């Protein structure tokens, strides 16, 4: 799948691209930036790579793209933004926010605060009396295999949240119904992230770390050292919106992505253990495209965009919610079709992705030494496809 740059020419390629300069940050709307004038000494590989970046940017724009930023070996070598946007403009990441929770969990493991195989109910005592919830592990919670209903339609929709009288999304998530035994089903949605947020809040209080919540912990341990400035939305009770409420610029998200691509190191300083970080980037549950809060990019041309499978699963949930035999049969068939469009579990993992509604994307491709950020409108980009974007960018 991915096109690897030979190590011997990578340094030359980066130097040539940086010397050319990036295309303008704010080209005229609907007009892609003109190719930069290349020095005579610029290698053909750099020309070819920039051509691929421009093709990927054109594809992104055709599907409502607002910003595209490409880093090669840590250097910004290409950027494109429609009028009104720049790589410094804060943008809602939507579900791209979810991957921060995995990083927080990895840090907590390094700090001795958390274990992936401990029971969530050891900290969330409200779950102890429930035969299913009491058995959920942190690993299952973060791989979205805890069996807890997603609550997407309730707590991700402000009108529905008000109608349900919910002011504390963490409490609502702890009280959510179970739909399956732990480890049995992948259920995508916000509830398990709010449970994780409350679990960590209680861990910090017990250990007297001085961190009010996951955001404070990440700010102290990661965001401040990286020099980035994300902002999180909160509910009426003050709970940070860990599943979908972070706003940050493409430039800052790319810095975060580089920290992950470099195995937890920033500016030569180790912030996160490499082996702990690696655990996030493996499948641990029933969805082989999902690690611990990160999507896994597999070398499988037949694998559908993850959001397509999610849409099918949500349709199946609605069918199942009818409570009729016909609805349950249709739900089962819908899930079977979605599973068939998933990746081959034996295909190698070639990259990692944080992904959100509107095709907000942070792609991390270690073999190519690439970190890529793509932004689009929350209600747009429906035709955008990861495989086509990658094909254009990597020249497959």
* Arithmetic mean of pLDDT, 216-227: 98
Q: Is 24 a residue whose pLDDT tops 90?
A: no
pLDDT band at 317 (very low <50, low <70, confident <90, very high): low
Q: Do residues 271 and 264 touch, judged by C-beta distance below 8 A?
A: yes
Q: What is the dihedral of CA 52, 54, 56, 59, to 10 degrees?
A: -140
* Arithmetic mean of pLDDT, 204-217: 98
Overall number of domains in the chain: 1
Q: Is 5 a residue whose pLDDT tops 50?
A: no
Distance, in Å, from the CA atom of 378 to the CA atom of 63, rounded to the nearest integer, reads 12
Beta strands across the sheet bearing 231-232: 90-92, 246-249, 231-232
CB atoms within 10 A of CB 311: 14
Highest mean pLDDT among 43-57, 158-172, 252-266: 252-266
CA gyration radius for the chain? 21
Query: What is the reported pLDDT for 41?
Result: 45
Query: What is the reported pLDDT for 32?
Result: 40
Query: What is the reported pLDDT for 30?
Result: 35
Question: Does residue 48 form part of some domain?
Answer: no
* Arithmetic mean of pLDDT, 141-155: 93
pLDDT in tens, 158-173: 888 888 899 999 999 9
CATH number at 177 reads 3.40.710.10
* Arithmetic mean of pLDDT, 180-188: 93
The fraction of the chain above a pLDDT of 90, given in percent, is 67
Q: Do residues 280 and 293 touch, judged by C-beta distance below 8 A?
A: yes
Question: Does residue 394 form part of some domain?
Answer: no
* Arithmetic mean of pLDDT, 87-107: 97
Query: What is the reported pLDDT for 158?
Result: 84
* Between 7 and 81, residue with greater pLDDT: 81
Question: Does residue 36 form part of some domain?
Answer: no
pLDDT in tens, 112-134: 999 999 999 999 999 999 999 99
Question: Does residue 41 form part of some domain?
Answer: no
Q: Which domain holds residue 166?
A: 92-248+266-371
Question: Does residue 19 form part of some domain?
Answer: no
For residue 108 the two structure tokens come to: 């907590």
Provide the 3-class DSSP secondary structure of residue 62. Answer: helix
Query: What is the reported pLDDT for 311?
Result: 62
For residue 192 the two structure tokens come to: 């398990």
> What value does the mean pLDDT of the chain take?
86
Which of these ranges, 64-68, 86-90, 203-207, 301-305, has the smallest mean pLDDT? 301-305
Query: What is the reported pLDDT for 159?
Result: 87
pLDDT band at 331 (very low <50, low <70, confident <90, very high): low
pLDDT in tens, 345-371: 667 889 999 999 999 999 999 999 999
Q: Is 7 a residue whose pLDDT tops 60?
A: no
Say which residues have a Cβ less than 8 Å from residue 287's Cβ, sequence separation at least 6: 143, 144, 145, 186, 342
Question: Does residue 44 form part of some domain?
Answer: no
* Between 155 and 270, residue with greater pLDDT: 270
């Amino acid at each position: 799948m991915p096109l690897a740059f030979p190590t011997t020419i990578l340094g030359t390629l980066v130097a040539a691209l940086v010397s050319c300069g990036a295309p303008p940050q704010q080209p005229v709307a609907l007009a892609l930036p003109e190719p930069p004038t290349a020095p005579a000494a610029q290698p053909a590989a750099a020309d070819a790579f920039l051509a691929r970046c421009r093709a990927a940017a054109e594809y992104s724009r055709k599907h409502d793209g607002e910003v595209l930023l490409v880093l090669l070996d840590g250097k910004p070598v290409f950027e494109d933004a429609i009028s009104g946007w720049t790589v410094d403009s804060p943008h809602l990441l939507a579900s791209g926010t979810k991957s921060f929770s995995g990083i927080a969990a990895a840090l907590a493991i390094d700090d001795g605060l958390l274990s992936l195989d401990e029971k969530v109910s050891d900290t969330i005592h409200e779950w102890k009396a429930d035969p299913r919830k009491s058995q959920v592990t942190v690993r299952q919670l973060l791989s979205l295999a805890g069996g807890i209903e997603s609550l997407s339609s309730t707590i991700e929709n402000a009108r529905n949240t008000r109608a349900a009288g919910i002011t504390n999304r963490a409490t609502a998530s702890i009280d959510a119904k179970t739909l399956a035994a732990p480890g049995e089903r992948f259920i995508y949605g916000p509830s398990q992230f709010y449970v994780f947020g409350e679990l960590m809040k209680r861990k910090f209080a017990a250990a007297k770390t001085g961190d009010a919540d996951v955001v404070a912990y990440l700010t102290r341990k990661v965001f401040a050292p990286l020099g980035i400035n994300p902002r999180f939305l909160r509910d009426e009770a003050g709970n940070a919106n860990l599943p979908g409420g972070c706003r940050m610029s493409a430039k800052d998200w790319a810095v975060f992505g580089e920290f992950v691509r470099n195995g937890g190191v920033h500016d030569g300083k180790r912030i996160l253990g490499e082996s702990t970080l690696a655990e996030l980037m493996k499948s641990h549950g029933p969805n082989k495209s999902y690690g611990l809060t990160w999507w896994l990019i597999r070398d499988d041309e037949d694998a559908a965009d993850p959001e397509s499978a999610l849409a099918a699963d949500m349709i199946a949930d609605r069918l199942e919610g009818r409570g009729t035999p016909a609805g349950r049969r249709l739900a089962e068939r819908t899930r079977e079709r979605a599973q068939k469009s998933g990746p081959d579990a034996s295909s190698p993992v070639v990259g990692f992705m944080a992904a959100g509604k509107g095709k907000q994307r942070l792609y991390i491709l270690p073999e190519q030494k690439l970190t890529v950020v793509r932004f689009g409108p929350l209600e747009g980009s429906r035709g955008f496809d990861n495989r086509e974007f990658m094909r254009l960018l990597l020249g497959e």
